[in-house]
Structure 1
C-alpha cells in the first residue's frame, strides 16, 4: 500500500502527516497519545489500509517531526483541536473515522462534543478517559498498592513539586512498568516501537503534568463525563 508523507503549515510551524493508501478514500484518522508522544506506534496499523479507505496519522504539534519547544503557551487543548480541524481541511478529509488512543481519545471527545464537526462516520476510543479528576484519583488508588518506599517518594514529590529526586524517579519507573508501559526486549519489538523519536516533554508537562497521575497542566480540568 502506498505511503505518502508531508507537512502542513500550522500556526508558525509545520505538522507532519503520514498517509497509508489512497487519500481520496474515506480515512481512518489516528490520534496519538501524550500529549507529546508521536505517531510511531500507529504504524503497526498500516496493514489495515485497504482499497476502501486510507489511514492518516500525524505527529501533533510539539513532538516527533512536528517538534516545537520554548512555547509553553501553545500546549492547550485548543491548539491540538484546531490542528486536527486544519489537517482535515488541508487533506480534504470530508468523511473520517476517528481513533483516539489515551490523550488522543480526549482530543477526539473534545473535538466532537465542543466543535460540532461534520463527516464523522465513527469514533473509536482506546485507553482514554472522560474525567481528569477521576483518572487522577484512580491512579492514586493504584499507587496505594505500591511499596511504602515508592508511595513515600511519590507523596514527597507531589507535595514539594520536586520530580527530580532519585527516589521519585525509581518509584515512577515502577509505576509506569506496572500500569502504563510494559518492558519489551530490544530486538524483538517492531522497529516503529524502538527507533529514536523526539518526545514532546514540554508539551506533556504543560498539557498534562509531570507524570501520569498528577494532572497539573491545561488538561487538568478536562471533564466530559455525563
Structure 2
C-alpha cells in the first residue's frame, strides 16, 4: 500500500489484480472502500478509461474526486496497461460485451456492486451507457465525459474538424491513409496537429497523458481492433457502433460533460442530453477532450458536486 496527497488529506492507495476469464485485470483504489463499514458515506466512483486500450494513466487526475471521502477506482481494461496483454487475440475477441462483463466482475470483486458511481471518459463514456443498459443495479449515477452516442456521429465531427486543419496537414493525413502507411512518422506528426487542438491542449502533454499514448503505441492491439489507427480514421469493429436508439432507457441520473474545443463536438453527445430522462450537461470553456487535465479544478467541482448530489438513493430507488 502507498499513499497520495489529495488536497490536505493523505489517502491510501492500494493496487491488485482480479482474475477474469483466464486473464488478470489490474486495479487501483485511491481512498478507502466503505471505510466506516456502512453505506451512509460517499459512494465509490469507478472510472472507465478511453481508447479502447489507452490504459488508466491519463485519467489519474480524477483521483482529486477522492477529496470528499469517496474511494476512486481506476483499472486497466483487459488488453492494455498493467492488465493481461493479448496481442495474438482474434479481433473478434474484443467486444463491448467483454468489457461490460469485466466491469461487472470488478465491482463484485471489490465488494461495491450494490452501491457505486460510474464515470466513463471517451470510449469509457461509450462503455458506461452499455453497462447501465445491460444492468443498472447498484449504479447511483453515470457520468459521460467527452463521448459520442454513436461512432458515425463521431466521424462526422472528426471530418468537420479535419477540414479546419491546414491544407498541408490534411493532405498528409489523406495520403498516408490511402497508402496504408498510418504508422509513419510523417503521419504521426500531422496527427499531432489535430491532437494538440482537439485532444489535449496542455502542450507538452503531462506525463500521465504521454504514458497512455505511449502505451497505445507499444500495445495497439485493442485500439486497432476496435477503433483504428487514429482518433479520426476509424476502421475497427466500433465503426458502426451506436446507442442512440437505446439511451432513453438509461434510468440513472446522468451527467454529460465535454470541452469547448473537444473532438467530441456537441453533435456527438446531444442524443444523451435529448433522450436520457434525468440528465444535465456542462461544457468546459478552455478544454478539448480532457477537461480533467486541462481544467482540473473546474472538472473536480462540476463532477464532484454531481456525485455528492446522488450519493444516496431516493425512496423510489434512484439518487
Do they fold alike, i.e. is TM over 0.5? yes
Pairwise CA distance, 1:100: 0.5
Q: Which residue of 2 aligns with 1:154?
A: 173
Pick closer, same or farther for the CA change 1:219–1:194 going to 2, 3 Å. closer
Pick closer, same or farther for the CA change 1:70–1:92 going to 2, 3 Å. same
Residues 50-95 of structure 1 show CA distances to partners (whole Å, capped at 9, x for unaligned) of 5753111101111110141221433221221111011111112121
Q: Which residue of 2 aligns with 1:71?
A: 89
Q: CA RMSD in A?
A: 2.2
Pairwise CA distance, 1:43: 2.5
Residues 174-221 of structure 1 show CA distances to partners (whole Å, capped at 9, x for unaligned) of 1112211335348xx4x6445686334111110111111122112112
Distance 1:167 1:21 in 2: 43
Pick closer, same or farther for the CA change 1:52–1:141 going to 2, 3 Å. same
Contact 2:122/2:148 (<8 A) preserved: yes
Within a 5 Å distance, the mapping from 1:177-216 to structure 2 comes to 177-185=196-204, 189=206, 192-193=208-209, 198-199=215-216, 200-216=219-235
Distance 2:161 2:69 in 1: 43
Q: What is the count of residue pairs matched by the alignment?
A: 222
Of 145, 150, 155, 1:136 maps to 155
Distance 1:18 1:165 in 2: 35
Q: Which residue of 1 aligns with 2:132?
A: 112
Pick closer, same or farther for the CA change 1:138–1:64 going to 2, 3 Å. same
Q: Detail structure 1 runs of 4+ shifted over 6 Å in the superposition.
A: none
1:21 aligns with 2:45: no
In structure 2, stretches of 5+ residues that fail to align are: 1-10, 246-319
Higher RCO structure (Cα 8 Å, ≥6 apart): 1
Q: Which residue of 1 aligns with 2:110?
A: 91
SS of residue paired to 1:171: helix
Distance 2:15 2:184 in 1: 41
1:40 aligns with 2:50: no
Contact 2:227/2:235 (<8 A) preserved: yes
Distance 1:103 1:125 in 2: 10
In structure 1, stretches of 5+ residues that fail to align are: none
TM-score between the two structures when normalised by the length of structure 2: 0.64
Q: Which residue of 2 aligns with 1:12?
A: 22
Distance 2:176 2:145 in 1: 29
